[in-house]
C-alpha cells in the first residue's frame, strides 16, 4: 500500500518503483539487474533463477509554492505533502524457460494542499489527492538463447479527491473510486555477452471515479452523484545495461509517456459538467548512470536524468500539479548482507524549472482568470531489500 505525494515525475507519474533504479535515476530500468525491473519490462524476471522477492519504500519530501499575481496577489505557501510510496515484487522460475511474477505498486499519485488555504488560487484548487494501487501478475518465456518475452495484466484501484472554492467562498468537493484494467509487455535481448537491451510497455487506462460532488453555489451544499474521468497514459521504456569491466556497468534509459491523452479532468455531477482543462503533450525521460562494485559485498551507483514535462505552457499548468521540465541527480548503494539478502539505499534530488500559470476557475471563465508563477523541487529517500529464497 502507498500514500503518495506531489507527483515525483512528469505529470503525476511515480518513477520510484525500485530503490535500486532510483539510485541510478532510472537508468537501465527496463534492462534488468534487479527484480524491480519488471515494473518497466515483465521479461526481465527471466534473469533470476528460483524464487526471488524485492520491496522498496520511499519517503517523498516535496516543495511547491504558487504566487498568484492576478486578479489579486497572494501566495499558497508550500503545497507539497510529505508522504511515502512503496512497491513489492515476486517471481518464481517454474521451468528452465518459464517465469511467473507479481508486482504490487502505485504507478500514479499526487497529494497537494496549500498552507494558506485562502490564497487566491484556492478558487482553482485546495486539497487534491490521487491514490492508485496496481496488481500486475506477469509471465516471461525465453524463446531462444538471449531472447526473452514477457506479458502481464494490470488490475488497478484508484481513489481521488478534488476541492476548490466556489463563489460563496465555501469548499466545493468531489471524491470517488474506480477499478481499471490494462496490460504490460516487454522483451529482453542479449546480443552479446555483457550487453542487455530491454524494451517494455505499460498500457493506457481510464478511471471513471464514481462518487459524489457538493458545492454551495451549484448543489446548495448537498452531495449529488458524480463521476470524475482521468485518462492515464501508456508508457514505453527502452533501456541498456552494458558491462564495461568486471566491476562496472553503464546504464541508460529513454522513456515516452503518452500524456497527450490527458485533455482534462471532467466532473459530471447532477446533470452538469465541470472541467479542468489540461491539454498536455507527451512526456519524455532520458537518463544515464552507472554501477561500480566497490567490493564483493558493496555496490555503488549513480545517475542523472532530464525529463521533458508534458506541461509546456502556463495554460496547462494546474495548481494541483505545478510540473515543469526536471533534472534528476541520484546516488545509491547496495550491500550484500548474505547470500540470500541484499539491502539497498538511494537518494534523489529533483530540480524543477520555474513556470507560470494562466488558468480559469473550474466553474467557467466567467468566474475569473488567474495568473501567477510556480517554483518547486523534490527530495527522495528510499530503502529496499532483495531476497533470494
Q: What are the residues whose beta carbons fall under 8 Å from the beta carbon of 151, sequence distance 6 or more?
A: 42, 138, 139, 183, 184, 185, 186
Q: Looking at residues 209-222, what average pLDDT do you find?
A: 86
- For residue range 7-56, what is the model confidence (pLDDT) as tens digits? 556 678 888 899 999 999 999 999 999 999 999 999 999 999 999 999 99
Lowest-confidence segment of 21-30, 72-81, 275-284 by average pLDDT: 275-284
Q: Is the pLDDT confidence value at 70 over 70?
A: yes
| Alpha helix ranges (H) inside 6-77 | 19-22
Q: Is the pLDDT confidence value at 228 over 80?
A: yes
More confident: 201 or 83: 201
- For residue range 14-25, what is the model confidence (pLDDT) as tens digits? 888 999 999 999
Q: Are 89 and 35 in contact (CB under 8 A)?
A: yes
What the chain holds in terms of domains, given with CATH numbers, is 19-388 (2.40.160.60)
Distance (Å, whole) CA 103 – CA 132: 13
φ/ψ (deg, to 5) at 328? -105, 135
At residue 9, the pLDDT reads 62
- For residue range 247-263, what is the model confidence (pLDDT) as tens digits? 999 999 999 999 999 98
At residue 3, the pLDDT reads 44
Q: Is the pLDDT confidence value at 4 over 70?
A: no
At residue 8, the pLDDT reads 55
Distance (Å, whole) CA 25 – CA 39: 15
Q: Which burial class, exposed, middle or buried, applies to 314 when counting CB atoms under 10 A from its CB (0-12, 13-18, 19+)? A: middle
Q: Looking at residues 238-244, what average pLDDT do you find?
A: 97
- For residue range 126-179, what is the model confidence (pLDDT) as tens digits? 989 999 999 999 999 999 999 999 999 999 999 999 988 888 778 889 999 999
Q: Is the pLDDT confidence value at 300 over 60?
A: yes
| Percent above pLDDT 90 for the chain | 74
Instruction: Provide the mean pLDDT of the chain.
Output: 92
Band (pLDDT 50/70/90 cuts) for residue 346 is very high
At residue 166, the pLDDT reads 83
Q: What angle do CA 367, 371, 373 make, to 5 degrees?
A: 145
At residue 200, the pLDDT reads 98
At residue 7, the pLDDT reads 52
At residue 272, the pLDDT reads 75
Q: Looking at residues 359-375, what average pLDDT do you find?
A: 84
More confident: 82 or 240: 240
- Collapsed DSSP state (helix, strand, coil) of residue 141: strand
Amino acid at each position: 500500500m502507498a500514500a503518495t505525494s506531489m507527483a515525483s515525475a512528469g505529470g503525476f507519474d511515480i518513477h520510484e518503483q525500485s530503490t535500486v533504479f532510483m539510485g541510478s535515476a532510472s537508468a537501465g530500468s527496463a534492462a534488468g539487474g534487479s527484480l524491480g525491473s519488471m515494473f518497466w519490462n515483465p521479461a526481465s524476471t527471466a534473469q533470476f533463477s528460483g524464487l526471488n522477492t524485492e520491496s522498496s519504500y520511499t519517503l517523498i519530501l516535496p516543495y511547491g509554492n504558487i504566487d498568484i499575481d492576478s486578479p489579486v496577489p497572494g501566495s499558497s505557501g508550500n503545497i507539497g505533502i510529505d508522504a511515502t510510496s512503496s512497491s513489492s515484487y515476486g517471481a518464481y522460475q517454474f521451468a528452465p524457460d518459464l517465469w511467473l511474477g507479481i508486482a504490487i505498486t502505485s504507478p500514479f499519485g499526487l497529494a497537494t494542499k496549500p498552507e494558506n488555504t485562502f490564497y487566491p488560487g484556492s478558487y482553482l484548487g485546495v486539497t487534491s489527492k490521487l491514490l492508485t494501487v496496481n496488481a500486475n501478475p506477469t509471465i516471461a518465456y525465453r524463446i531462444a538463447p538471449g531472447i526473452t518475452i514477457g506479458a502481464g495484466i494490470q488490475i488497478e484501484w484508484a481513489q481521488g479527491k478534488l476541492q476548490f472554492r466556489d463563489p460563496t467562498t465555501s469548499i466545493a468537493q468531489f471524491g470517488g473510486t474506480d477499478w481499471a484494467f490494462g496490460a504490460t509487455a516487454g522483451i529482453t535481448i542479449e546480443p552479446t555477452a555483457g550487453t542487455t537491451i530491454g524494451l517494455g510497455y505499460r498500457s493506457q487506462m481510464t478511471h471513471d471515479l464514481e462518487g459524489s460532488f457538493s458545492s454551495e453555489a451549484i448543489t446548495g451544499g448537498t452531495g449529488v452523484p458524480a463521476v470524475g474521468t482521468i485518462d492515464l497514459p501508456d508508457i514505453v521504456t527502452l533501456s541498456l545495461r552494458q558491462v564495461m569491466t568486471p566491476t562496472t556497468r553503464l546504464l541508460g534509459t529513454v522513456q515516452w509517456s503518452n500524456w497527450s491523452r490527458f485533455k482534462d479532468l471532467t466532473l459530471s455531477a447532477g446533470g452538469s459538467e465541470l472541467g479542468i482543462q489540461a491539454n498536455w503533450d507527451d512526456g519524455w525521460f532520458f537518463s544515464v548512470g552507472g554501477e561500480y562494485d566497490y567490493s564483493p559485498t558493496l555496490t555503488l551507483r549513480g545517475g542523472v536524468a532530464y525529463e521533458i514535462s508534458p506541461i509546456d505552457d502556463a495554460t496547462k499548468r494546474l495548481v494541483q500539479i505545478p510540473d515543469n521540465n526536471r533534472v534528476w541527480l541520484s546516488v545509491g548503494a547496495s550491500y550484500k548482507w548474505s547470500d540470500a539478502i541484499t539491502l539497498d539505499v538511494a537518494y534523489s534530488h529533483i530540480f524543477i524549472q520555474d513556470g507560470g500559470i494562466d488558468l480559469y476557475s473550474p466553474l467557467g471563465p466567467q468566474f475569473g482568470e488567474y495568473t501567477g508563477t510556480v517554483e518547486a523541487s523534490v527530495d527522495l529517500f528510499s530503502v529496499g531489500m532483495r531476497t533470494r529464497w
